[in-house]
Structures are given as structure tokens and as C-alpha cells.
Amino acid sequence: AQKVTQAQTEISVVEKEDVTLDCVYETRDTTYYLFWYKQPPSGELVFLIRRNSFDEQNEISGRYSWNFQKSTSSFNFTITASQVVDSAVYFCALKDNQGGKLIFGQGTELSVKP
């Protein structure tokens, strides 16, 4: 079965703390794509990053970094020196190769307090 699990429902941190959002996935495909999206209070999903299964290099973009490990089927997302504007719900998603739909995790609500 194809599945994405985000075990952390809510996380609360104080500004400038580092925070890691966990994502574990299950797939029968040998080639696949993983995504992270941010959903601020306005509701729109904002695309953050895409990774494919044959590239396990970690990625850093400013204060954001992603750790992809096929051995543990995990694609974790770290925000360094968090800011209040990072407060949002974050979704991890797996692309289903049959038809192209995204399979979403339940989301992690991050609250960054000043």
C-alpha cells in the first residue's frame, strides 16, 4: 500500500529554535517522488521541495533542509532558527505513479511563538 505518515500532529517551538518535521512513507514503486508543502492560515498549499528516489543527497535552501533516507523510508524536514512566519501546517506527500495523484500525510501543525 502507498502511505505517508506524519506522526507529529502539532509542534510548538519558541522563535530561533530548530525544529524537525518527520515523514515516513510506504510505496511499492522503485522510482518515486516525494514532496513537502506548506499551508499557511490562508489555506493555499505552497510547494517547498521535490525529491526523486534515485537522488539521496540532502538539500538545503536557506533555513530549510531536507534529509532523505531510502533505508528508513523517511524524508524529514528541518527548519533552522525558526521564525513566527514559519507557523503553518506542513504536508509531506508521495506521488502515486498510477495517475499522478499525491498521497498526503495528515500534516504537522507548527506553531512558532515569539
Partner 1 sequence: DGGITQSPKYLFRKEGQNVTLSCEQNLNHDAMYWYRQDPGQGLRLIYYSQIVNDFQKGDIAEGYSVSREKKESFPLTVTSAQKNPTAFYLCASSRTGLPKTQYFGPGTRLLVL
Q: Which residues form the interface with partner 1 (CB under 8 A)?
A: 4, 9, 33, 35, 37, 42-47, 50, 52, 91, 93, 95, 99-102, 104-107
Q: How far is the CB of 112 from partner 1 (least distance, A)?
A: 19
Contacts of 35 (CB under 8 A, 6+ apart): 47, 48, 49, 50, 51, 92, 93, 94, 95, 102
Q: Are 64 and 37 in contact (CB under 8 A)?
A: no
Q: Would you mind telling me the total number of residues written for the chain in this entry?
A: 114
Q: How far is the CB of 17 from partner 1 (least distance, A)?
A: 24
3-state secondary structure of 14: strand
Q: State which residue, 44 or 62, has the beta carbon closest to partner 1.
A: 44
Instruction: Return phi, psi of residue 51, to 5°.
Output: -130, 145
User: Which set of grid coordinates corresponds to residue 76?
Assistant: 524529514
| Cβ at position 4, least distance to partner 1 in Å | 8
* Least separation in angstroms between CB 83 and partner 1: 23
Q: Residue 10 or 18: which CB sits closer to partner 1?
A: 10
86/90 with CB nearer partner 1: 90
* Residue among 80 and 106 whose Cβ is closer to partner 1: 106
